[in-house]
Each structure stands twice: as structure tokens, then as C-alpha cells.
Structure 1
Amino acid sequence: MDYEDVLIALKSGNVPSHGAKNLCMGREKEVEEFDRLLDKVDSDEKAIVKFVNGEYGAGKSFFLKVVEEIAFEKNFVVSWITLSNDIPFNKIDVVYKNIARNLKCKTGTSLDHIIDRWITGLKMMAFEESSNPQKQNELVRKNLYNDLADTREHANSFAIAIENYNKLMNEENYQTAANAKAWLRGDSNIPYTEKKKFGVKGDVTKENAINFLEALSIFVKSIGYSGLIVLIDEAEFIMNLHTKKLRDIAYNYIRDIYDNCNLGKFQNTLFLFAGTPEWFEQPQKGIPSYEALDDRLKTVLDTDLEDMRKPIFNLKGFDEENLKEIAGKLTIMHEEAYNWKASDKINPVLEDIVSIHLTDASLTGGKVTPRTFIRSFISVLDTVQQNQSFFNDSQKIIELFEKQETPGGFGDDIDFEDIDEFDDDW
């Protein structure tokens, strides 16, 4: 793992591309529960819908990344979409297209890669069974057809397009084969004459999109993956849809997915929606505005005790133990990335640093926001590392933390003319 890349991403308020699981602090119970759920999705052919509730900066996207990393370890196919003007949930056909286009597995990205890797595997099996090219093609066709049996039940045209894609590739009709895969991804700009060549009519529409999504989940399971994980970030964007009718359509699609998973129409699939408290609580535009969905998700017990089996996970801020743990990990990473003894400078004042953040959070009635602490901590590590001769007094490090919330940013009252331009070890 490149620690510098991770630190730069975290300092910028972004989720690192790798290593999120190793940095996940204070979420042990949630991680353990999702580890368990993914095993059930795989072995018991379950379909599950879960929701993550957290304030801005609470680590929702970070947690989705952790789930993605666990899913890759367990051989799932994952698709991550972020709701926006381009991907509004009231247009379920657009949602399907983006899910299909964003598919990833541990060996690569795209639905194309997944299909081609599977067919290559079938060809390798055929080569081992026969040296006759005609017999090999027949074995591939037969095994391909058998693997698609369950997929065919949910969306026959989905299976037909894949079968004909293989046929077209054997015939070296690469353009039409490419159109077949584009159609599977939801492309609606393919001419009728081309679609006829790979045996389908029409396109993915709002009427059949959920059926196609069901077929996609069954397809990835049938060709050797553990199942499909769909991560839906910034779900609160639904509240930005201009009319109640559009919002109700979006919420009804979530309800459809929720019910279909519980009724067994989806298999080997987990949907995870992440949104802000406002989305879960706001009565005018949030989930409570659509009773049919709200009734399925709302808590029936009035208690603060944890229940990891509820539909909604609540991500809370960091407490003292979490802050110390993440600070320790970040310090070690910074030492490795920039080859210096960060702990010598930071550890003597770590209690004071944590205390400052806890005090600031208590003034607003909550725990420390993970993103706030991580960004400030890395910023100070960077500053101290590049100006080590200035920070020979631990009190100066504490002053950085005390002053970083001032209008001018951290270190407002420090005379930076006294600080060396950069130490040689940068």
C-alpha cells in the first residue's frame, strides 16, 4: 500500500482507493455484521437491503469503501453509483445503466471483462476436453447455455444477448458483438437492425429495468462469483427532485427493491444505500414522506441500545478511544511515507490533541466528526514534518490544533517567518 497516496486522499477529504478496511476505526460491529451478511448472501442465496445513516463527514462513503473491499475479498461483483442530476433514482432505467457500467470485480472492471473472463474459462475447459475445434465450440455453447438457465427465467433477452455475443465473436463479427454487450449495459442507441442480429427487441426501460437488475445479479452468481453488491451513495439527492411525484417514484423503486429482496425475486444480492439524517427524518421530502417505505424502515423500539440487524445503520462520530487509535495509525503511516519519527513529536501531546477535538465537539453537542479530525491531524503532521526544527517545543504543536479552526486556518498566530522553508528530509 502506498501510504502517501492514502494520506493525500484523506487530507483532501476523499476516500482512498485502497486500504480503507485497515483504517476503519470505531466501526468494528458494523464491519463484523456486513462480513456476516455477505456470507449469507453468498451461501444462503439471500438478497438484502441495508441503509447507512450519517452526518456529512461521518464516514459514509468511507464505510461503503470498506464494504467494497470486503466484497472483493469474498469474490463479489460490486457496482458503486452516486445519485445526482445524471443518476436520479426516479429513472430506474438510468440507474440500471449506471449499475451495469460501473461493475467491478477483484480481477478487473466492467461487465465486458466479467463476460469475457467467464467465456474464456469455458473455452479453457473445452480445450481440456477435446482437441477438435468444432467440438470445443459446441461444448462452450452448451455450457454457456446451461450457466444462463436461471438468468433466462428473469430476463430471457439478457441471456439471448450473451449467447449471441459469443456466437458473433466466433464469426468475427466484432462490431455487432460489441453492440450486444453495449445493449446489456443499457445502451439505447443501438439500431433495430443491429439488435435483430443478436436476437433482441427494444431496450432497457423503466418497466423492465428491475427485471434486468435481477437477471444481472443471478448472472454473476451463475458464472462463479459470490453475488452482486450495489452501493448507492448520496441517496439524500432524492430530496432534490423537484416534485413530490418524482420523489414518490424514486421511493417506490426503493420499496420495490426492498420487497423483491425479501420475497426472493433477487438472489445473492446486497443493496446498500447511504444518506444523511435529514433523508431518514425529514417529513416533507425525506423517506418519512413516503409511508410505504417509511413503515418498512422505521424503528419500532424506542431505545438507544444497538441493534445491528435493523435495516438502518447509524454511523456515529469518534470517541476518545477512536481518536487515539486513528491518530496512532496515521502517525505510523506518516512515518513510513516520509521517513521520519512522527511519534517522537506527536505522542507526547496526543492526549492534549484528542482533548481539544473532544472539547470542540462537545460545544456542538456531539462526537468528533471523523473527516474533521483526520484532515486536521494529517495537516498538522505534514506541517510539523516539513518544519521540524521549528517544532522543538511540543506546545507549538498544540497551538496548531488550537488555532486551526480560526478564520485564517490553523496556526493563525504563529510567525511562519521563523519556520524554515522546508527541512531537507521532505
Structure 2
Amino acid sequence: MSDEHRKVPKRIAQTVLNSLKGGVVPRIGLPYIAVGRKNEIEALLHDVDIISEGGASFRFIVGRYGSGKSFLIQTIRNYVMDRGFIVADADLSPERRLQGTRGQGLATYRELIGNLSTKTKPEGGALTLVLDRWISAVQADASGETGRMPGDPLLTEAVDRKIVAVTSQISELVHGFEFASLLSRYYHAYIDGDDETKGKVVRWFRGEYALKREAKEELGVNIIITDDDWYDYLKLFAVFFRLAGYSGMMIMIDELVNLYKIPNAITRQYNYEKMLTMYNDTLQGKAKYLGIIMGATPQAVEDRRRGVYSYEALRSRLAEGKFSRPGARDLLAPVIRLDPLTPEEMLVLCEKLSDMHAGLYQYERRVTTEELGDFIKLEYGRIGADQNITPREVIRDFIELLDLLYQNPSLDMEKMLASDAFTYTKSEAVSDQTDSSYATFTI
């Protein structure tokens, strides 16, 4: 076992192996098991450079269930936080959409704001931290320029001027005046130690005020964030985060299949119309310091009856060109289609998992590279595997094998691979993949 793999902290190894065995993507430890997708990651990181210079981007990552779609999204999430970005992510569901008649769009906004993450607070809930750090940084700058200490009225005046300089840039945008006034309100509550007012401002930013009257009485603003305009506030946050010292904002929305599943055609079209607005904004320069990545299955995008392509304005913008094909995808296009991992890449991944498992349970790795090769050959040798096998299936099978070998030292991998149970399980899994449109987990 290599020193590199021995260094994986047990807490991280436990989380990674448990998550993968359960069919979900771990939030931590991804660099230890990253394999393949080098070109896709480079393409998305090129977008990150554009965003940090004041641009915007919109990408769809399209792959079948278990193909590595959510894994790639989480990998990019970690990359951009390391580069000073604030990340907001959410999975769509029947209760969370881009648009809805019962607040489903606002529910998505609330989820995104609740999941705001930074490098120092990657688990989410970073809004208050970001606001407080911004004010502290402005105070420190003003104190350095004036030589005054906190509590000095001249320092407060200098900080006020700096706050106005920031908020004036925001107030020029749609809904920016109210947004800027609330930032100023938060600053004064921070200075006065008024935690109640700070809490009310944060509650407003989170979209938790249901009535304009209530917001007017408590905060002096005449508007609240609604199902129709929540995206405008994400654009405001992106500009504010930049002014607060971050590189930009990356929004990641997964499980677009939940829009595809909406039974009402008119409701689906409203959601696709909202998606078109967001897409056009990023490409036409109406958004700054903002990146949007959406994850979807091929059916959810390409189905002309219910998918994204049922909305002609989106289909004409997103449809793949004549020359792109598996193995030679245009990764500069708005839609990144994930090709399956190669058997060689899966072999490398299984080696990483073997070392991680051995390090977690403190035993000498028993599985040889030759046995790993036999396992991969069996997995990829099934009938229909070229079309139906996914990394999730292979990973779950492999971790189960490692667990059984660890718990039963008398067993060996060769006998387990030759068993009827393994053959039956795999043939069943392949047949299940032919109708996977309602699966629930994505790696």
C-alpha cells in the first residue's frame, strides 16, 4: 500500500466508502478517488477563469444515472471553493423547481441560500459568516487608513463611506436599491450589537418573509423575494460577493429530471422558460461573476415531448452539432455529455478504493492488481455492459466485495467472482438499467 493512500484520514475514508456503497456522492474526500474526467474538469475550470474576470457561464452536465454526473459536479464544487468562490447548490424535487404556482421556485432559492458554502465553511450556512467578515474587512481597511479605533465616530463615518461605495454599485441593478439598503441596515445592526435586526435582515435575504407588509414594518423595505424574481437576487449576491472579496459565485442545480417529470405541460414550459432566461442572461452579459451548472439525464434534456428540448428556444441553443460524437465531444459547448469511464480508469479507481479500505480497517491489502483486472473484465464483459454499466454499479459491487473479504478471511476474490450469486446479481443489475428513469441516487 502506498504512503499516499495511508494518509487518507479515517473519518474521510469512512465517509467516502459508506457514501459510495450507499449510491450517493460523498461531500468530502473526492480528490482521493478522482479518476478520469480530466478534459471535462479543464473545460469547466476555464469557465471559472472567465467568471472571476466579471463574466458568466451556464453549463449542463448530462449523463445517465450512475454515470458520474453528480460526482463531477461535486468535484467542481470543491475546485471552485479552493479558488475563492462561494458555492450554492440544490437538488430539484417535486417541491423545488425553477418556477411554480405554490412557491416551488422560491423553495429552490431558499435551498441555494441555505447551502451557501465557502472554503472555510464547506458544509453550507455561510451567509452570516460572509456578511460579518465583509464588515470586519471594511472596518479594518478604514481603521488602517484613518488610524482610528473601533468606537471612534470618525472611523464609523469612514466605514459608512466605504459601505456606500459598495452598495452604490449594487443599487444600480434590478432590485439593487433595496438589497443595498438592507446591507447597510445589517452593517449598522452589527456596529450596534443589534442581533435581532441582523437576524431579520438575514431572514429577508433567505427569502423567508411571506408578506410585504411585514418586511415594511420590520425592515423598511417595500419588496420581498418571490417565486417570480428569486433569480434576480442571485445575480445581486454574485456581484456583492465579488465586492466582499470573493472570486465569484457558482450555482449548482442537480436532478433536472424533476422538471421532466412534471405532469402538466404548461407548468413544464414555465420552468423551461425560466431556464432560458437564466441561460440568456449569462451569455448576453446580463449577469456578472456568476456561473451556473445544471445536472440532468439524457432523457430529461433530449426528449422532444417533455424534456428541455421540448422548449424550442432551448433546443435550438443547446442541441449537439453534427460533428460531436462519443470520444470526441465538444467540451466548449453549453452541454457536456459524459462518456462512460474506460475499463482502465475503473481499474485505477478500484485500486484507490482498495488502498483506502485497507487503510481504514488497518490490514495489508490482499487484492492484487491481477485480481482487480479480472473483476473489471467481468464487469465490462457482461452482455450490454457497453451501453448499460455505470461507475456506480461497479463501485458498489467492488466495495461489497472488499467488505466481504475483510469480514471473511477464508474467502478469496477469485472464488467470489466465479460464484453464481455474483453472476446473477450482475445480470439483474444490467437489465434494471434499461429502465432507470425513476432511479433516485446519482453518482
Query: Please, which moves more after superposition, 273-282 or 363-372?
Result: 363-372
Question: Which residue of 143, 146, 151 maps to 2:165?
Answer: 146
> CA deviation digits over 1:330-385, x for unaligned, max 9?
1111121111122x33323122111101112x525426310011111111011111
1:312, CA displacement in angstroms?
A: 0.8
> 1: CA distance between counterparts of 2:388 and 2:269?
34
Rounded to whole Å, the distance in 2 between the matches of 1:407 and 1:307 is: 36
Q: Matches of 1:149 and 1:226 in 2, distance apart?
A: 20
1:211 aligns with 2:232: yes
Change over 3 Å in CA distance of 1:292–1:210 after alignment to 2: same
Question: CA 1:45–1:16 in structure 2 vs 1: closer, same or farther (change >3 Å)?
Answer: same
TM-score, normalised to structure 1, is 0.89
Verify the 8 A CA contact 2:380 2:386 in the aligned structure 1.
no
Q: Are the aligned partners of 1:126 and 1:139 in contact in 2 as well (CA < 8 Å)?
A: yes
* Structure 2 Cα separation of the partners of residues 41 and 296 of structure 1: 21
Q: Are the aligned partners of 1:358 and 1:367 in contact in 2 as well (CA < 8 Å)?
A: no
CA deviation vs aligned residue, 1:157-199 (integer Å, no higher than 9, x gap): 1111111111133334322321111101111246735534533
**Residues 5-404 of structure 1 mapped to structure 2, 5 A cutoff:** 5-42=15-52, 44-91=53-100, 92-108=105-121, 109-128=125-144, 129-131=147-149, 133-154=152-173, 155-189=176-210, 192=213, 195-304=216-325, 305-342=328-365, 344-360=366-382, 362-366=383-387, 368-391=389-412, 394-399=413-418, 403-404=421-422
Change (3 A) 1:206 1:196: same
Shift of 1:262: 1.1
Residue type of the partner of 1:176? T
2:424 counterpart of 1:406: yes
The SS at the match of 1:80 is strand
CA contact (8 A) 2:357 2:402 kept: yes
- Per mean C-alpha deviation after superposition, the further-off stretch among 16-25 and 217-226 is 16-25
Q: Report the Cα offset of residue 110 of structure 1.
A: 2.6
- CA distances 1:72-110 after superposition (whole Å, capped 9, x unpaired): 110100011100122122233333232222211112233
Q: Structure 2 counterpart of 1:118, which letter?
A: W
What is the letter of the counterpart of residue 254 of structure 2?
A: D
Aligned-residue sequence identity (percent) comes to: 25
Name the CA distance, whole Å, in 2 between partners of 1:308 and 1:205. Answer: 35
Structure 2: unaligned runs, 5 residues or longer: 1-8, 429-443
Q: Deviations over 1:98-141 (max 9, x none)?
A: 22222111122331221112112222333443125212222222
Say which structure, 1 or 2, has more relative contact order (CA 8 Å, 6+ apart). 2
Match of 1:141, as an amino acid?
D
- 5+ residue gaps, structure 1: 411-426
Say if 1:58 and 1:370, in contact at 8 Å, map to a contact too: yes
Supply the RMSD in Å over aligned alpha carbons: 2.2
1:233, 1:273 within 8 Å by CA — same for their partners in 2? yes
Q: Which amino acid aligns with 1:87?
A: R
Shift of 1:150: 2.4
**Would the aligned equivalents of 1:403 and 1:409 in 2 still touch at CA under 8 Å?**
no
Distance apart, 1:407 and its partner CA: 5.5
CA contact (8 A) 2:166 2:243 kept: yes
Compare 378-387 and 297-306 and name the one that shifted more: 297-306
What's the secondary structure of 1:328's corresponding residue?
helix
Using the alignment, how far apart are the partners of 2:177 and 2:69 within structure 1? 37
Give, as a single letter, the amino acid of the residue that structure 1 aligns with 2:414.
Q
More displaced stretch, 278-287 vs 101-110: 101-110
State the AA in 1 paired with 2:119.
Answer: K
Distance of 2:157 and 2:421 partners within structure 1:
72
* Residues 57-79 of structure 1: CA deviation (Å, up to 9, x unaligned): 11111111101000111010001
Residues 349, 398 of structure 1: 8 Å contact kept: no
Deviation by residue 1:257-293 (Cα, 9 ceiling, x = unmatched):
1111111111111100101111111111101211011
Secondary structure of 2:293's aligned partner: strand
Do 1:217 and 1:228's aligned partners in 2 also have CA atoms closer than 8 Å? yes
Q: 1:404 deviation in Å?
A: 2.7
Q: Are residues 353 and 12 of structure 1, via their aligned partners in 2, closer, same or farther at CA, if it must alter by over 3 Å? A: same
Paired with 2:271 and 2:215, the residues of 1 have a C-alpha distance of: 32
Equivalent residues of 1:54, 1:60 under 8 A apart:
yes
Q: By how many angstroms is 1:23 displaced? A: 1.7
Distance 1:212 1:293 in 2: 23
Structure 2 distance, partners of 1:191, 1:261, is 30
TM-score (norm. length: structure 2):
0.86
| Structure-2 separation of matches of 1:14 and 1:151 | 39
After superposition, the Cα gap between the structure-2 partners of 1:216 and 1:346, relative to the gap in structure 1 and judged at 3 Å, is same
